[in-house]
Amino acid sequence: MKNYLILCIDLDEWYHGRWATGSSISRWTSVQDCLQDYYKSNKPAGEIVEPTYRILDSLKKEGVKATFFILGEVAEWYPDLVSEIAQEGHEIACHGMYHRDPNLYSRQKFSQELVQAKLILERLAGRPVIGYRAPNLIITKWLHEVLIEQRFLYDSSMCPGREIQGKYKGQSSAPNNPYRIDKSSLCLKGDANLIEIPIPVFPLLKLPGAVSIATRIFGWIWTSITLYNALRTGAACYYMHPYEFNEAPKLQNMSLRQRVFFRRTGAFMENILQRLLNKYRGRIVSAEYYVLKCFNE
């Protein structure tokens, strides 16, 4: 079986970042607070639409189908955009209802919101939604159980790296390539009815490598080495966000962490997407394609 590159786009806005909203360390207490403070509005400004169309155009030119992990909240804001992504033949997958750390929820509340988000996305996509990625890649001990209960076929929330600010705890020994999970944990191989598509890490250092923010901070070579290492042993996943194709917002009193978060947005990411499409031409697929067509070969 070909060692595919699974290309994913997380359809969330810059203010969905963990530093901004949706976590215990965020700058604003909620997305609504951010919208009121920064945009002086209770509605988003629509900045995500134009870069998403640019991404779609690039994918179309190369004949590539990708996976779009979409928040239920974003789907409610931009239903026509979500429907168009689906009509272009890309996979619509679930990113939760809101971009909040799952460990801030009770299991029951999380499950209720996941049902809500899945129904919204399935209505707009016109087909079942089979994949999930946790906001901020935060997992809980019960996450896999809820996903199996709700008949998801795969998850892509694991990153087998060292712990960073409460993320990736206990995950460093997990595989770098897709695997069927154990019934007890997302981190272990087993025979449960859920496939994990992890985010590969840079070898030895065990730091995230196959995600756009790592590419923007550490550079293309960092990501290229990460993907080369992962693709030697199986399929690998890479993901990015449309907001990274825009210039950074004009925020006052940004911390060092926030300035790093916006490092090299804009033209740099345009170039990175084209590099990926060129380098892995003929090997790029959606998560859905990989799970349904390839995993059980």
C-beta atoms surrounding 258 within 10 Å: 15
DSSP SS3 for 140: coil
DSSP SS3 for 154: strand
Q: Residue 284 belongs to what H/E stretch?
A: strand 284-285
Q: Which residue, chain included where needed, has tokens 């409460």? A: 166
Q: Is 266 exposed, middle or buried (0-12, 13-18, 19+ CB in 10 A)?
A: middle
CB distance 80 to 88 below 8 Å = no
Residue-level pLDDT, tens digit, the chain, 297 residues: 579 999 999 999 999 999 999 999 999 999 999 999 999 999 999 999 999 999 999 999 999 999 999 999 999 999 999 999 999 999 999 999 999 999 999 999 999 999 999 999 999 999 999 999 999 999 999 999 999 999 999 999 999 999 987 789 889 999 999 999 999 999 999 999 999 999 999 999 999 999 999 999 999 999 999 999 999 999 999 999 999 999 999 998 899 889 999 999 999 999 999 999 999 999 999 999 999 987 766
Report the C-alpha dihedral over residues 135, 141, 145, 150, rounded to 10 degrees: -20
Amino acid at 138: I
For 179, the token pair is 């695997």
8 secondary structure, DSSP code:
E
C-beta atoms surrounding 45 within 10 Å: 12
Determine the pLDDT at residue 257.
87
Report the C-alpha dihedral over residues 60, 14, 70, 103, rounded to 10 degrees: 150
Secondary structure string (H, E, C) spanning 234-283: CCEEEEECHHHHCCCCCCCCCCHHHHHHCCCCCHHHHHHHHHHHHHCCCC
Task: Give CA–CA dist 175/161, Å, rounded.
Answer: 10
Which ranges in 25-181 belong to alpha helices (H)?
A: 31-34, 49-62, 72-77, 79-87, 107-125, 143-149
Determine the pLDDT at residue 297.
62
Task: Give CA–CA dist 221/215, Å, rounded.
Answer: 8
289 secondary structure, DSSP code:
H
Helix pair 79-87, 107-125: axis angle to 10 deg: 60
For 77, the token pair is 């804001």
Task: Give CA–CA dist 272/276, Å, rounded.
Answer: 6
Task: Give backbone dihedrals phi and psi of 167, rounded to 5 degrees, phi first.
Answer: -100, 150
Report all structural domains of the chain as residue ranges with CATH numbers, in order of start.
Answer: 5-294 (3.20.20.370)
Q: Which residue, chain included where needed, has tokens 């679930």? A: 94
Task: Give CA–CA dist 89/263, Å, rounded.
Answer: 31
126 secondary structure, DSSP code:
T
Secondary structure string (H, E, C) spanning 247-259: CCCCCCCCCHHHH
Task: Give CA–CA dist 92/67, Å, rounded.
Answer: 6
